Chain A
């Protein structure tokens, strides 16, 4: 055992002094309080006791209890899960073995309609939410306006688009236009919130700069807030469009038209091979739109044209290059 303190290394001497007493105890794996009892070891070198995090323990207990209660109380025949693999493969066969491509033309038209619905919904949502988010931003509009608008956004966000559609369909009927309106209203909730968050998150420097030149609120918005928030806001619009494309399929299910309606009809009549084809169309179209929208968003935020699917590949290559270059 090398326990002799090194001359000169005073700190080492202290540490060694603390350790000599314990080194043998370590042999039987005894992690017992160790240094704490030793009078010689000063407080800096005493082993702390393992802290017990009661708050975390309590939180875990509550979460576990809630989850267990949910599993225990829910009315589900869990035994039907046993048949699931067999049923699932049966339906996979029905759906994709092979899909029915004869209705592809109809499906394509329906998809276009869904995308149009999403587009109009997004555009209307932007037109309405854009001024509202300024009015909801602290510092840009009086708080008398801020809070009611924020509450409105929150209420809209809490209501699913389908429910909005059900509410307004008595006015406009069960048409794609109703779907677009429902998406527009739904978009106001999210775009409004993201908007005021972006505006309020703008760095104080440019704001002060505009204020210092004596600009009014409008100048402040145009030259202090908008230039910084612009890429982010554009990117939110695109993101909301992606969401609306998915949501438009859902609206179709209650009859607003488009791919969702066609899907619902075919599910009802159990035309599984057509449903399989529709699923593929939905997946491919959402993927394509996500990629296009993602490319534009990359351009807006990072300033480069880059397709998301290829980005990970390119990042990998550049990472590899970096690793190789010391």
Chain B
């Protein structure tokens, strides 16, 4: 420790000496190859068995694809010919999808920020409260968005409101998890300093921790917005408003020209918004 050279000396000379000292088994000092091949084989076998079991369970039927191929070709041809005349009819649903995504993101982000602070050990010293918040958040996260939609459609009725509420629940799950994990990993030095200066936990968290995770929070909110755009096209399938309702209508009548038009619109919308949000996120961090 006292001089720089002494630290590296013993290590550097140690290894070869040990190596020469072992006259026991075959090549002096060479370690035996670790036996991992057997373990890997077992893992691969298990995975294959699960796959076989699952494949039998869902009755994988490759023959069906061949059987219905002509049908498929016809559909694909329909899909490549979107019905452009259908565009005006999609506008209200498209707008509703966007509205739902914007509103849900705004509410979700606003609710998530304080919850994230309650869900992180770094910012919430109150252990019982922390446990309760984390438990509830785990519950909230384990329900898929469309299940929220299915239930909420029953509770508040068909339309955008149930969709927004479903998306909000979904968003809270995501944002709280990601932001509270960011808080857990954040350097708490400034917070310690604020506490040492007599600030309460609330004030210390606000002044010292919030600025640190704000870029993460903004970036996660944008990411959630992207997810919401995609999700809000889906939850309409159970009646929660947006493009999904339209998709449900046209699919029931197999109007593939119109369906392809809708998909085309979703594609453009998602890609454009993703590019925008990627640009914005790059500027944030």
Contact = CB atoms under 8 A, between A and B. Distances in A.
B103 A254 contact: no
Contacts of A77: 159, 161
A144 interface: no
A303 to B, nearest CB: 14
B263 A163 contact: yes
A171 B150 contact: no
A250 interface: yes
Contact of B142 (A160, A172, A286): A286
Contacts of B96: 74-75
B107 to A, nearest CB: 9
B50 interface: yes
A323 to B, nearest CB: 11
Interface stretch (A4-12, A63-71, A206-214): A63-71
A67 B106 contact: yes
A167 B75 contact: yes
A81 B161 contact: yes
Interface string B57-93: 1111100110011011001000100000000000000
B6 to A, nearest CB: 26
Interface residues on B, range: 35 or more
Contacts, number: 177
A185 interface: no
Interface string A289-326: 01000000000000000000100100110010000000
Interface residues of A, number: 69
A219 to B, nearest CB: 21
A71 to B, nearest CB: 6
Interface in B100-141: 100, 102-103, 106, 121, 134, 138-139
B251 A166 contact: yes
A77 B164 CA distance: 12
B218 to A, nearest CB: 10
Contacts of A224: none
B160 A74 contact: yes
B270 interface: yes
A286 B64 CA distance: 31
B150 A70 contact: no
Given A74-B99, A171-B72, A177 B154 contact: no
B211 interface: no
Interface stretch (A29-37, A41-49, A116-124, A194-202): A116-124
Interface in A167-203: 167-168, 170-173, 175-177, 179-180
Nearest to A164: B263
A202 B57 CA distance: 38
A172 B61 contact: yes
A107 interface: no
A246 interface: yes
Contacts of A75: 96, 159-160
B221 to A, nearest CB: 10
A267 interface: yes
Contacts of B68: 170-173
B247 A166 contact: yes
B189 to A, nearest CB: 14
B25 to A, nearest CB: 28
B234 interface: yes
A80 B161 contact: yes
A179 B146 CA distance: 16
Given A154-B271, A158-B266, A253-B238, A263 B103 contact: no
A1 interface: no
Contacts of B147: 249, 263, 279, 282
Contacts of A249: 144, 146-147
Contact of A162 (B57, B138, B157, B237): B237
Contacts of B103: 67, 70-71, 74
Contacts of B281: none
B144 A282 contact: yes
Contact of A173 (B64, B251, B271): B64
A81 B266 CA distance: 29
A172 B274 CA distance: 32
B121 A316 contact: yes
Residue from A74, A170, A275 whose CB has the most chain B CB atoms within 10 Å: A74
Interface stretch (A19-27, A83-91, A130-138): A83-91
Given A70-B102, A162-B237, 20 more contacts: A67-B103, A75-B159, A78-B161, A84-B156, A113-B58, A116-B53, A117-B54, A119-B51, A119-B54, A120-B58, A155-B267, A160-B234, A163-B263, A171-B65, A172-B61, A176-B59, A267-B150, A279-B143, A283-B139, A316-B121
Counting from the closest, the 8 A-B pairs by CB-CB distance are A116-B54, A176-B58, A158-B270, A116-B57, A70-B102, A171-B72, A74-B99, A119-B54
20 contacts: A67-B102, A74-B99, A76-B164, A87-B155, A91-B154, A113-B57, A120-B55, A154-B274, A158-B274, A163-B234, A170-B72, A172-B61, A176-B57, A176-B59, A180-B60, A263-B150, A264-B150, A267-B151, A282-B147, A286-B143
Interface of A: 66-67, 70-71, 73-78, 80-81, 84, 87-88, 91, 95, 112-113, 115-117, 119-120, 123, 154-155, 157-160, 162-163, 166-168, 170-173, 175-177, 179-180, 246-247, 249-250, 253-254, 257, 260, 263-264, 267, 270, 275, 279, 282-283, 286-287, 290, 309, 312, 315-316, 319
